[in-house]
Amino acid sequence: PSYFGNMTQLQKLHLNNNSFHGKIPQSLGRCQYLLDLWIDTNRLSGTIPQEILQIPSLGYIDLSDNLLTGHFPEEVGKLELLVGLGASNNRLSGQIPQAIGGCLSMEFLYMQGNSFEGAIPDIRRLVSLKKVDLSNNKLSGHIPRYLANFPLLRNLNLSMNKFEGTLPTTGVFRNATAFSVFGNKNLCGGIIEMQLKPCILQASPRKRKPLSRRKKVASGIGIGIASLLLCIIVASLCWLMKRRKKNNASDSNQLDSTTLGMFHEKVSYKELHSATSGFSSTNLIGSGNFGDVFKGLLGLENNLVAVKVLNLLKHGATKSFMAECETFKSIRHRNLVRLITVCSSLDSKGNEFRALVYEFMPKGSLDMWLHPEDVERGDGHSRSLKHAEKLNIAIDVASALEYLHVHCHDPVVHCDVKPSNILLDDDLTAHVSDFGLVRLLYKFDRESFLNKFSSAGLRGTIGYAAPEYGMGGQPSIHGDVYSFGILLLEMFTGKKPTDEAFAGDYNLHSYTKSVLSGSTSSGGSNTIDEWLKLVLQLGIRCSEEYQRDRMQMAEAVRELFSIRSKFFSSEMTTAKQSPQNVLHSYPQELILNADMHTI
């Protein structure tokens, strides 16, 4: 039915093995969050609408065993997160689209039982392929030799086509049970089990007559001239490369004025080298995706700063530098870490050097305060955070995320909200760090973004990353809301989302629900304070499994302010009573008594 297109938040549509007939509705293209589209084994007819192949989040699409006709749309190349594609046993014709070679995440390709013709498209970049079936078509030409280089390919069926030429004998073609090519009459060679006819070798060319002395002299002169020209070309290239390196060096100190123009005083490599004692390991305070962070004393006043040195050997590091510079031109908020200046120069060896200088946060990360037992260095904190301080930090983080999501010119997605990315100043005011990097990489370099986001690294951190990221979903503000909800639950339960007690569907979210449920039903000594109950319920609503069930960050900010105003205003304005004295029940005490397996 066409009204499925109105379900714009739909993630999975499984209508296979029915008797649906008619055309596939174009309106499905409006379901921009769709991950699975399984409409195989029906009686659907007509052509494949281009609109459904423009849903960027699609991971699996199966159109097999229908009555579909026409060409397969080239728009399939836009599905860069596509893992499985099935279009077998239809009436499709024409050539398999060349654009399919752009589906870099693809693992399964089933297009057998159609009338496709022509050569196999160039799919040499689809190195993740595990199963491919192109049998029972009208495909022709040579079988690509690069298929033998696919490390994960376990099943390949090319039977009943019109392929010709030599059959490879390496890779998947070494195992007779892993591939099939029967019904291709013009194939030859291959492993002995295939019992194909031997390939006819071309006759060796006739021996040439020895060259005359005059021809030998002419050949020698020609070779000499060619060698001289080659030397001139190589020398010219070396000169051009040196000149280009010098130009890059001069440009690197003054990148694009629109990008670095906001920084009135840009520091030199020498200054940063001196400020960090030669980037000493004793000053190393952290590492990120694209480089290391050092503590240093900068300027005449010896201001304490954090220096992030980019590792330019990592793909995407230079673009991440540009991205962070670009975003700080328009983003200002008291709860975002402040970028003081930048360095774009050459190091002492003449190599390109990029660094960002941030305001130093003397109280470290929130992770160090929540879990001091995990801190290996001797700079742990002697006390725990008070309830009111935790609530203030939660409000700071929520305010920063609301600003990024709502009040920036373009919404900025953090993608990795977790305690170690929340930094605290002397007043325990929270500052969100490392924000917007994934979204900005997407803007600056789409290929780099997709490669990184397809790996485990930039999907976020296990325990904090939204469930849809694990299924190939793209970054969204809803993912940040989920991570914030988990952060909130961790702050006020004392439990990490990666606690060894959690497994399968039993996680920090369901655990907190069980605690709240037990408190409501049992009453008495296990009763949770009203303010804490409201905070935990807020964390649960933010960390719901499905995006549609999560609250907006602006709503979370309003509720947190309301809780602080209602329960903490008097304690924050008088020293007679501290929140720790008034708010007696701490969730860890209740958690120790809770049934760990009841929900």
The annotation places the binding site for ATP at 308
Question: Binding-site residues, please?
Answer: 308
Distance CA 214, CA 165 (A): 43
Residue 572 to residues 399, 565, 577, 579, Cα–Cα distance (Å): 20, 10, 9, 8
- From the list 130, 121, 84, the residue with the least C-alpha distance to 101 is 121
* Number of Cβ atoms within 10 Å of the Cβ of 281: 9
Q: Within 10 Å of residue 289's Cβ, how many Cβ atoms?
A: 17
Tokens 């709502």 label which residue? 406
| Tokens encoding 21 | 């007939």
**Among the listed residues 444, 430, 409, 564, the one whose alpha carbon sits nearest the alpha carbon of residue 487:** 430
Residues 19 and 42: beta-carbon distance below 8 Å: yes
Given a contact cutoff of 8 angstroms between Cβ atoms, the answer to whether 487 and 494 are in contact is no
d(Cα 403, Cα 183) in Å, to the nearest integer? 63
CB burial class (10 A; 0-12, 13-18, 19+) of residue 275? Answer: buried
- The SS3 of residue 139 is strand
Q: What residue type is 77 in one-letter code?
A: G
Contact by Cβ (8 Å): 294, 305: no
E-state strands within 105-239: 108-110, 115-118, 131-133, 138-141, 155-157, 162-167, 179-180, 186-189
CA distance 462 to 423: 20
Of 567, 496, 499, the residue nearest 528 (C-alpha): 567
Of 435, 461, 459, whose CA–CA distance to 449 is shortest? 459
Q: Which of 127, 241, 147, 250 has the alpha carbon at shortest distance from 190?
A: 147
| Rounded distance between C-alpha atoms, residue 193 and residue 264, angstroms | 73
Tokens of 45: 């007819």
What does the H/E/C string look like for 151-186? CCCCEEECCCCEEEEEECCCHHHHCCCCEECCCCCE
Task: Locate 574 and state its tokens.
Answer: 């008088």
Based on its alpha-carbon atoms, the radius of gyration of the chain, rounded to whole angstroms, reads 31
* Of 396, 416, 434, 480, catalytic: 416
> Active site includes 416?
yes
Report whether 69 contacts 47 (CB < 8 A): yes
Q: Could you list the active site residues?
A: 416
